Amino acid sequence: MAIDPVCKMTVDEKAPATTSDYGGVTYYFCAPGCKVAFDENPEAYLSEPKKRSLLSRLNPLRTPRSQD
């Protein structure tokens, strides 16, 4: 099963409602509306950058680039 990056539902990659390619990776969606939301702002739904900024906010001392 794949995870719909927008709503975090599981999606059967053999029969997804729709898919989108971004950065060489295929993402699977439970519904066309999720793909539309993803295509408008893919970065917002990809967990890694989000996780990084959340971590640096919670723990600024561990962020090498912190300049405050």
Tell me the two tokens of residue 48: 């890694």
**Shortest gap between Cβ of 9 and Zn ion (angstroms)?**
5
SS3 content of the chain, % helix, strand, coil (to 5): 40, 20, 40
Phi then psi for residue 65, to 5 deg, are: -90, 0
- Residue 4 is a binding residue for Zn ion (CB under 5 A): yes
Task: Find the binder of Zn ion among 28, 30, 38, 45 (CB under 5 A).
Answer: 30
Q: Which stretch binds Zn ion (CB under 5 A): 20-28, 32-40, 43-51, 52-60?
A: 32-40
- Residue 34 is a binding residue for Zn ion (CB under 5 A): yes
Task: Find the binder of Zn ion among 7, 42, 56, 63 (CB under 5 A).
Answer: 7
| β-bridge mates for residue 10, sequence order | 3
